A and B are shown apart, each in its own frame.
Chain A
Amino acid sequence: MDRGALRQRIIDWLDDQYHFGEAEQKIGDDDASFLDRGVLDSLGFVALIVWLEDLLHLAIDRRNISRENFDSMNKILDYVERRLAGERS
């Protein structure tokens, strides 16, 4: 799955779970903080991680759940790309 496709899957998931058609508007900018903009709360982050693990067949160490890795759309996509590249190498 390329970056654009994964981004759309995340948008769809956010709409299904939390924002019901308004996820794009809520996110605003792909570099904006999910926490600060109320896109996800702490419970939502854990749900997102569990969903990503299932979708991408990845195991994500809970110690890596941090603002640095997951607090914006671009950070999530970057993290996933790094992980998938690491798995392939």
Chain B
Amino acid sequence: MSDGTVIHQPDPRRAAASQMASFQRLCEDRVGRRFGSWPEFHRWSVECFRDFWRLFLEWADPAVEGDRDPVCEGQDIETAAFFPRLRLNHSWNLLRPGPGQEEETALIARDETGRRVTWTRRRLRKRVAEVAQALRARGVGPGDRVVAIARNDEAAVVASLAATALGAAWSSIGPDQGVDAVLSRFRQLDPKVLFATGHRFYQGQRVDLLPLLREVVPALPTVERVLSLDASDLGSLASGRLEDLGDGAGGEAFDWPRFPFSHPLYVMFSSGTTGVPKCILHGAGGSLLEHLKEHRLHSDMGPGDRLLFTTSAGWMMWNWQVSALASGTTVVAYDGSPTWPTPDALWRVVAEEKVTVFGTSPAFLQFCRESGLEPGRSLDLSALRTIQSTGSVLHGDLYPWVREAVGDLPLHSISGGTDILGCFVLGHPMLPVRQGRSPCVSLAMDVRSLRAPGVPEDGVGELVCGTPFPSRPVGFHGDPDGTRFHAAYFAQNPGFWTHGDFLRLFPDGSAAVLGRSDGVMNIRGVRIGPAEIYAILRDVLEIRQAMALEQQAPEDPGGTRLVLLVQMQPGQVLDRPLTLRIKRELSRRASRVHVPAVVVEVPDLPVTHNGKVSEKAAREAIHGRLPANLQALRNPECLDLLREHPDLGGRFLRASRDAQVEGTHDHRTRQ
């Protein structure tokens, strides 16, 4: 079976009863026309995006106050402002009473030790209100930043919803990060409060986080309070515990203040090729509307559904997962190893909790296939109706495995990212699933595949978006005039949001995201900015200069690996002890995913005539290709070594290249 083949057809009755069908009918009635196909409906949502968002607001009915006009002020994607006269409380929208939902389970928290906690919607709302009141009494309010080193559990959900209920911006990272990774992010935010977990579990090991916190806390001088998220004894580092906040009165008096539509809600981090990680500010209203759209329309989630997304508290899918509360969906938060104590541990949770929508990654599905798991045969997965995959390119060969080993379910490859706190390509409850493709691009987003001049017409290009959209970030923290924000997303293609991914669009409206187009790396689903690696390697004095690159893994077709090229100081040699020390430092100070699969000493790195090191040229070379603009390099001869080096897969790549059909050798064509 090849890519593009239909591998799953939706059940017609379920498709007709989907929320997407309901909303499309509303739009048809209101605009007085019938949409004969998905591309037609999508085209209308783009061309008439103001009508779309007006109708979506009416249909989704979030708790908002104020004038719904104008829907969007301005036409420029960089500056357009949605619903400037609306006010809302984001947390209230996630927790407000719904018909028949008060005593229903809103949140289930499980971890690898077998711990299981459930919260009803009423109890969760009351607890959030209590904690919000307690934080307010301690001086937390609009304009503050509350940060957390958190596990994916109920404590993180309560703390985040309480902080954002007060108008503070929330920013969390997972507990597996090293001290440099934590501080390069949180120090920029001047946070007022730090929530911290005292330990984490992974594969049956309890890892104490006190050593990390002893370095982090003193380095955040603006933090007035450190609050423990769990029962760990943080000693003199902490001024209290989350569970001790609140007066036990259930937060009845809490007023759930309303804030402007674009009020800062979350700060997410995106590390790039230079400098410290960008602090991306996301607004409350835009995040809420975008997530409602993705959850209700594209994922068909609502009351009665249970969503489990494999994520840490540091990935945008954590925020995305928590937002599902606004659709009445039960969130199943899972913390720890997905494969402990048995390789099928996470599938067991999916079965036991009767999860209906399971979110995972290509790396996890690949692991399951390589382990020979057949969860659809060994477990009762009858409640499961959709699998979503994100984080990296979902290659076509995993689709048949899911069908055979899990069941005849839609496997939806969804893709977007931290930058938009949402997705550009998604699932669709009424459309077939084609192997190797996402069913559609997101409603009301003018997603295009922009070809560079001179590149052959093969449907592949830069993923850009041409319409204003509500979840466009408000800006960057610490970038008052928007210079960095403009450079990051709008300078490359004026009038468009440029996302940094390659995309192929198909005539039926399906799409395939094909990997990063910029210097940012995505290694097995984790996004890594080379700048973080370079900052740590500056302390390895034997290295003169380094370059970190993502490469298609020669031993794992479809997968990617991190390659580190190092140019040594005069008289220094890259031997095995030094290679291991480089890896150890990156693991300790950043994280395991920052560790290169291979470290190669090179006499020279490619440099342009104006002295700039060219990552692009090196990236082409390690894939066995010559860069198009070879004449721009001062030392093109250095690329020969990179193209032929056995540790960089030279022989494999040559063989692979020789075997390919003419015209399909571009790495962007892989699916």
Decide if A and B are genuine partners: yes
**Could you list which residues of chain A lie within 8 angstroms of chain B, going by C-beta atoms?**
15-16, 20-22, 35-36, 38, 41-43, 46, 49-50, 54, 61-63, 65
How far apart sit A49 and B204, CA to CA, in the bound complex (Å)? Answer: 21
> Would you give the shortest CB distance from A47 to chain B, in whole angstroms?
8
Contact between chains at B580 and A20 (CB < 8 Å): yes
**Which listed residue, A36, A41, A61, A63, touches B339 by the CB 8 Å rule?**
A41
**Contact A38:B372 (CB < 8 A) given known A20-B583, A21-B577:** no
A21 with B581: in contact, given A41-B202, A42-B203, A63-B372 (CB under 8 Å)? yes
Closest-CB distance, A31 to chain B (whole angstroms): 19
Known A-B contacts A41-B337, A43-B339, A50-B370; the reply to A20 vs B203 at CB < 8 A is no
Beyond A15-B580, A21-B577, A62-B372, whether A54 also contacts B555 by CB under 8 A is yes
Residue of A16, A35, A46 touching B371 (CB-CB under 8 A): A46
Asked if B370 and A46 make an inter-chain contact with CB atoms under 8 angstroms apart, the answer reads: yes
**Besides A15-B580, A38-B203, 20 new A-B residue pairs in contact (Cβ under 8 A), listed by A number:** A20-B580, A20-B583, A21-B577, A21-B581, A22-B584, A35-B204, A41-B202, A42-B203, A42-B339, A42-B340, A42-B343, A42-B371, A43-B339, A46-B367, A46-B370, A50-B370, A62-B370, A62-B371, A62-B372, A65-B371
Is B595 close to A, CB under 8 A? Answer: yes
Closest B residue to A62 by beta carbon equals: B372
Pairs A–B under 8 Å by Cβ, sample size 15: A16-B580, A20-B584, A20-B587, A20-B595, A35-B203, A41-B337, A41-B340, A42-B203, A42-B337, A42-B342, A42-B371, A49-B370, A61-B372, A62-B370, A62-B372
CA A63 to CA B343, docked complex, whole Å: 12
Q: Does B205 contact A (CB under 8 A)?
A: yes
Contact residues, B191-211 vs A (CB, 8 A): 202-205
Chain A residues with CB below 8 A from B367, complex form: 42-43, 46
Find chain B residues with CB under 8 A from A61 CB. 372
When distances are taken between beta carbons in the complex, the residues of chain B under 8 Å from A46 are 343, 367, 370-371
User: Which residues of chain B from 238 to 273 have any CB-CB distance to chain A below 8 Å in the complex?
Assistant: none
In the complex, chain A residues whose CB is within 8 Å of the CB of B203: 35, 38, 41-42
- Alpha-carbon distance A49/B367, docked complex (angstroms): 12
- CB nearest neighbor in B for A41: B203
Q: How far is the CB of B180 from chain A (nearest CB, A)?
A: 16
In chain A, what residue has the closest Cβ to B595?
Answer: A20
B666 to chain A, nearest CB (A): 28
**CB of A87, distance to nearest CB on chain B (Å):** 21
Which residues of A lie under 8 Å from residue B581 when comparing CB positions? 20-21
B579 to chain A, nearest CB (A): 8
Cα(A35)–Cα(B203), bound, Å = 8
The answer to whether B370 and A21 touch across the interface, beta carbons within 8 angstroms, is no
Q: Return B664 CB to nearest CB of chain A, in Å.
A: 27
Between A22, A36, A38, A43, the greatest number of chain B beta carbons within 10 A of the residue's beta carbon is seen for A43
Alpha-carbon distance between A54 and B372 when the two chains are bound, in angstroms: 17
Please name the residue on chain B nearest to A40 by beta carbon: B203
Q: How far is the CA of A61 from the CA of B367 in the complex (A)?
A: 15
Instruction: Kindly list chain B residues whose C-beta atoms are within 8 Å of the C-beta of A15.
Output: 580
Question: Chain B contacts of A42 at CB under 8 A?
Answer: 203, 337, 339-340, 342-343, 367, 371
Which residues in A have their C-beta under 8 angstroms from that of B372? 61-63, 65
* Min CB–CB distance B402 → chain A (angstroms): 17
Q: Which of B337, B581, B583 has the most CB of A within 10 A?
A: B583
Question: B420 to nearest A CB, angstroms?
Answer: 29
Which residues on the B side are within 8 Å of A54 (C-beta)? 555
Q: How far is the CA of A43 from the CA of B204 in the complex (A)?
A: 13
How far does the Cβ of B600 sit from chain A's closest Cβ, in whole Å?
Answer: 13
Contact B371 A38 (CB under 8 A): no
Q: How far is the CB of B441 from chain A (nearest CB, A)?
A: 32
A78 to B81, CA, bound (A): 66
- Which A residue's beta carbon lies closest to that of B588? A20
Beta-carbon nearest neighbor of A22 in chain B: B584
CB closest residue in chain A, given B583: A20
Interchain CA distance A8-B145 in the complex, whole Å: 50
Proximity bits, B170-206, A CB within 8 Å = 1, else 0: 0000000000000000000000000000000011110
Closest 4 CB pairs of A and B: A62-B372, A42-B339, A21-B580, A20-B584
Within 8 A of A (CB), among B572-621: 577, 580-581, 583-584, 587, 595
Residues of A close to B555: CB separation below 8 A: 54
Give min CB distance, B519 to chain A, whole Å.
25
How many whole Å from A54's CB to the nearest CB in chain B?
7
A39 to chain B, nearest CB (A): 10
CB distance from B670 to the nearest CB of A (A): 21
Residues of A within 8 Å of B595, CB to CB, are 20
Min C-beta distance of B374 to chain A, whole Å: 10
Q: Which residues of A contact B337 (CB under 8 A)?
A: 41-42
Q: Which residue on chain B has the smallest CB distance to residue A63?
A: B372
Q: What 1/0 flags go to B364-380 for Cβ under 8 Å of A?
A: 00010011100000000
Which residue of chain A is the closest to B556 with respect to CB atoms?
A50
Q: Which residues of B contact A63 (CB under 8 A)?
A: 372
Which residues from 335 to 373 on chain B have a C-beta closer than 8 Å to any C-beta of chain A?
A: 337, 339-340, 342-343, 367, 370-372
Chain A residues with CB below 8 A from B584, complex form: 20-22
**Chain A residues positioned under 8 Å from B370 (CB to CB):** 46, 49-50, 62
**Bitwise interface map of B from 314 to 339 toward A, beta carbon under 8 Å scored 1, else 0:** 00000000000000000000000101
- Measured between alpha carbons, how far is A58 from B398 in the docked complex, in Å? 23
Q: Which residues of B contact A22 (CB under 8 A)?
A: 584
- In the assembled complex, the CB of B378 is this many whole angstroms from the nearest CB of chain A, namely 12
Alpha-carbon distance between A36 and B205 when the two chains are bound, in angstroms = 8
A15 to B372, CA, bound (A): 26
A42–B205 alpha-carbon span in the complex (Å): 13
A55–chain B nearest beta-carbon distance, Å:
11
Residues of chain B with a CB closer than 8 A to A20's CB: 580-581, 583-584, 587, 595
Using Cβ atoms and an 8 Å threshold, which residues of chain B touch A16?
580, 583
Most chain B CB within 10 A, of A16, A49, A50, is at: A16
Q: Give A57 Cβ to nearest chain B Cβ, in Å.
A: 14
- Name the CB-closest residue of A to B585: A20
User: Which among A20, A35, A38, A49 has the greatest number of chain B C-beta atoms within 10 A?
Assistant: A20
In the assembled complex, the Cα of A50 lies from the Cα of B372 at a distance in Å of 12
